[in-house]
A and B are shown apart, each in its own frame.
Chain A
Amino acid sequence: MPEAIAYELAKKQKEISVAEFFERNKHILGFGNPTRALITSVKEGVDNALDACEESGILPDIYVEVRNPTEEECVVIVEDNGPGIIKQQIPHIFARLLYGSRFHAVRQSRGQQGIGISAVVLYGQLTTGKHAKIISKIQADQPAVVVELAIDTNKNRGEVQHQEIMHWDKPSGTRIEVSLNADYKRGKRFVYEYLQSTSIVNPHSRIVFKESDGTEHVFERTADILPKKSEEIRPHPYGVELGTLIKMSKETKGRKLASFLKNDFSSMGDRTADAVCDEAKLDRNLNPADMSRDQFLLLHQAFKRVKIMAPPTECLSPIGETLIRRSLKSETQEISPEFIFTASRPAAVFSGNPFQVEVGIVYGGNLPKDKPVKILRFANRIPLLYQQGDCAVTTAIGSIDWRRYGLDQPSGSGIPIGPAIFLTHIASTQIPYTSESKEAIADVEEIENEIKLAFREVARKVQMHINKKVRRVKTREKFDLITKILPEIAKKSAHMLNKPIPSLEKVITRIMDVVWIEDLVEYEKVRGKQVQTKLDATNSKGQTESGGWIAKSTIMVVNYKGKPQKFSLYALFPKNATVGEVKPKPTKVTDSYIKWNLENIDPTDKIDLFFELAGLNKGDFDENDLYVQHINPTYVIGADKWEGE
């Protein structure tokens, strides 16, 4: 009697090894070709390094080196000043796929799949047969360990090939060296771009990149503060998958359905938990451990039908407008842009996942005027380099009519043309990528809308700036007119008629017919000494420690109207700044503006206003944001209408 076919088939069936799995899926893991392989390897190494440093409260100092010993082989080295890794954990972290501390956590983090660095080690081993070398030091008074690792591809286990100790100058840190098949010639430009972009959204990090020929690039740190730690939150019922729900029920300490819901999910109070149980027609006293799949299905369906509060959003860690601006400024120095504007949206929610959008626009300078704007996309502080066309960021940008904001856009949609760089950063506990390679954000309506709103906001700032500039240039021309040409006309006509030269003051106010406001911001370096900030009526701050820079802002107001003018002037300043001396005495000072009531300025009279700001970096504040009230704003050049706070 012949054997059943199933036995025959069983001989061919075996567990697929990770190596095979990797080989079959390498394109979605980011190793599809030798160029991608190089960038992905650097990326995974740097992501790990940044995470390790931030988690232990260390400002990251990251060193990346790529060597290119043969045409096809690269050695990727990533070194950090993080906490190091204990010897026993090294094989798990670097040589086991899908191993990580973050897999079940709901929080904003760089990696989300835990496939990261071990995939690089595996790729290196598969393509070169060489072992990865890891150096780790966890304490200043201990030596570093050096480990050579191989992956047993059948067991998905790391195997230590060789181990020793060595002296390392750093107090602590981790270094990984992996040999892999990669295209250095094509890839190195992308590595550079990736590191530069990473530095923009991680202003607290310093990154050094050493090329194969020894050239070193340094991306300097522009902020000395670590980003706010993102907090772990419990999953929100709207975002949880059925499978995860069942899994959670197995791990919960809750013995009753109601307490399981309340303790293991966010935004679930007594009333909401009861409402969900009622909606699902399930007894709130059921033991989750005893529930059937069908019951979970009912529960899962009930989630969607009950109104549940949005999840908490304080868990997110956005970069912040000032820091985005500062790093954009630092990274675009050679371009010498005309201006940089940023906008930050309040946190929002999609399918139970909190997220927040921040954008920035760099405009002008040496950027090409006839090319599409450059789009920089970031998700949880990671640059997205590929699949720009499939990304929700691109769709959102393309759906705005940029012609209204002074950029070219031939068909009224699509990526606009002009001398600009658009930056988008999305922070979320769950970035909805289009695929495992994590290069494009899926078109989730809520996210797309927030991106659009953020860009509209920043575009309005751009437009205001441009309008202001155009008006200013026009009025500046009039200065030529009244100071040079008009006196000449008067002189010549008087000469021809043999009459005295007439007085021009009144004609000048008639021609100008504006209130002219001009401002200047200068920085003064203060070293090590404390600055006494002046007390004023409304702001009773005492001594403020402010080593570093003092911004000194001078505002000149000239009344070129025919009649005396009286109005209020508001000067805005960044919230993180501290106000020093203010002249003349202001009417009001808050945490974001200074207000003066200017009484009767006579025609052709000039008033000078002055204030100091401490606690800023040089360049954080280089243009006054001025507003006027109680005067027709069209009379005023150099300030906009005050719309309230």
Chain B
Amino acid sequence: MPRDYSGVITKIDSIAAKVYADLEKAEIPALQLSTRTKANIRFDDNLNVWKYGKNKTERTASSLDGAYMLLRTMYLVDFIKDMIKEKKSSTLRETYYISEGWNLAKFSSQNESDLLAEDLEVITGCMREDFKLRPEEDGARVIGNLVVEEMTRNNTKKKIHCQDDVGDAGYGIPYNVEKEKLSFKEVDADFIVAIETGGMFDRLAENGFDTDSRAILVHLKGQPARSTRRFIKRLNEEKKLPVLVFTDCDPWSFRIFGSVAYGAIKTAHISEYLATPAAQYLGVTPSDIENYKLPTDTLTPEDIAALKSELDDPRFQDQFWKHEIKLQLSLGKKSEQQALAKYGLDYVTDTYLPEKLVEMGMLKK
């Protein structure tokens, strides 16, 4: 059954109506949206995730940049309306190229069009899927004792076992992981390990960590795509599996954990769809650098600035993070997941992870 987009169209039209009404009233046209900064995220007790606070930003035609922004917004919503009418969808990159034909409203970079799409989500409360816009990034990979059922292109349902039916690369998470597209069937595992780097994901797979330790391995591919975060959240909530995040030991990796567990600053308007509040940070922690005597690199000035910024990030205000971030600043060092190979290829699966899992209460010694 085709989806009903009339609600989306009403919301989109209301943007045009607001601008038109401003012009009729001889007021400078403007649109309001939540300020998307670190300073404007608040913990939502009901949803258990971080959402935007009360601060609003105004996009107004009183400045040249603001006027361009409004004009682009007009073109983009008109384009979305057309796509809905014609039952088409486009990638964010295609949208950027489509704007080539928009004269003055042309985007100067894809970053600009991506940000505007996010702005539209924030203004309307819709998701970009509602706008028929999708990312081109494939979701990341999954290996574990899990059966998913996916709706294929020719509208048939297909079950996939994420160990037996997949090759070494694992199961690829599609960009749409909503219920109409994907559902979880049988699961026989104790927890999910979300891994930052492909190298470590492959190491755990090769060492058979998924079978030996009854784990579902999810590759985050750096800062995880929305679909990856949504996949982890659904698996956590529907199958009650704990989530452990395993990354490098540097401020950027802590932000990856933040976006998985708390919600990202850029997408705080949809944190309740994407964030997994129950996710826990496994490592590598700054304490691990000392405890495991890991090989290190010196923190760059950018690293130090990022760590200091995390010290006043409302999401990192608990005892654990304050202690670890301060420790890292005093060490002046950072390390990578794969630095554990210092002690041999099996060290991570034979020693490090079991020890950490015991420490976190996931495994009993």
Contacts and interface: CB of A to CB of B under 8 A. Distances in A.
A111 to B, nearest CB: 59
Nearest to B78: A496
Contact of A486 (B16, B27, B67): B67
Interface string A474-512: 000110110011101110111111010010101100110
B75 A485 contact: no
A236 B63 CA distance: 64
B70 A502 contact: no
A481 B74 CA distance: 15
B98 to A, nearest CB: 15
Contacts of B68: 485
A178 B61 CA distance: 74
A433 to B, nearest CB: 50
Contacts of A493: 16-17, 19-20, 23, 74
Interface string B66-85: 01101100110110010000
A507 B20 contact: no
Contacts, number: 74
Interface in B7-64: 13, 16-17, 19-20, 22-24, 26-29, 61-64
B146 to A, nearest CB: 45
A497 B17 CA distance: 7
Contacts of A504: 23
Interface residues of B, number: 28
B104 interface: yes
B148 interface: no
B105 interface: yes
B290 to A, nearest CB: 41
Most chain-A CB neighbours within 10 Å: which of B27, B74, B77? B74
Contacts of B78: 492, 495-496
Contacts of A484: 104
A488 B106 CA distance: 13
A102 to B, nearest CB: 64
Interface string B99-125: 000011100000000000000000000
A486 B26 CA distance: 12
A213 B99 CA distance: 62
B104 A485 contact: yes
Given A485-B104, A489-B74, A496-B77, A507 B13 contact: no
Most chain-B CB neighbours within 10 Å: which of A489, A496, A497, A507? A489
A496 B71 contact: no
B24 A502 contact: yes
Nearest to B26: A506
A290 B136 CA distance: 109
B125 to A, nearest CB: 19
Given A490-B23, A493-B19, A493-B20, A507 B71 contact: no
Given A502-B24, A506-B26, A480 B64 contact: yes
Kindly state the interface size class of chain A when it binds its partner.
20 to 34
A502 B28 CA distance: 13
Nearest to A476: B64
Contact of B67 (A485, A495, A502): A485
Interface in A497-544: 497, 499, 502, 504, 506-507, 510-511
B23 A488 contact: no
A490 B26 CA distance: 12
Contacts of B16: 492-493, 496-497
Given A477-B64, A485-B61, A511-B61, A496 B81 contact: yes
B20 A494 contact: yes
Contacts of A492: 16, 71, 74-75, 78
A502 B29 CA distance: 12
A192 B67 CA distance: 54
A499 B20 CA distance: 9
Contact of A507 (B27, B63, B70, B103): B27
Nearest to B19: A493
A510 B28 contact: yes
Contacts of A494: 20
Nearest to A505: B26
A497 B24 CA distance: 13
A510 B24 CA distance: 13
Contacts of A511: 28, 61-62
B64 A481 contact: yes
Contacts of B28: 507, 510-511
Nearest to A492: B74
A510 B26 contact: yes
Contact of B29 (A477, A478, A489): A489
Contacts of B103: 488
Most chain-A CB neighbours within 10 Å: which of B71, B75, B78, B104? B71
B13 A497 contact: yes
Interface string B196-207: 000000000000
Contacts of A481: 61, 63-64, 67
Nearest to A479: B64
A536 B105 CA distance: 53
29 contacts: A478-B64, A485-B64, A485-B104, A486-B61, A489-B19, A489-B23, A489-B67, A489-B71, A489-B74, A490-B20, A492-B71, A492-B78, A493-B17, A493-B20, A495-B78, A496-B78, A497-B13, A497-B16, A497-B17, A502-B23, A507-B22, A507-B23, A507-B26, A507-B27, A507-B29, A510-B26, A510-B27, A510-B62, A511-B28
Interface of A: 477-478, 480-481, 484-486, 488-490, 492-497, 499, 502, 504, 506-507, 510-511
Interface of B: 13, 16-17, 19-20, 22-24, 26-29, 61-64, 67-68, 70-71, 74-75, 77-78, 81, 103-105
Given A481-B63, A496-B74, 20 more contacts: A481-B67, A485-B68, A485-B104, A488-B104, A489-B23, A489-B70, A492-B16, A493-B19, A493-B20, A494-B20, A495-B78, A497-B13, A497-B20, A499-B20, A506-B26, A507-B22, A507-B29, A510-B27, A510-B62, A511-B61
What 9 pairs between A and B have smallest CB-CB spacing?
A: A506-B26, A492-B74, A496-B16, A493-B20, A477-B64, A502-B23, A485-B67, A493-B16, A493-B19
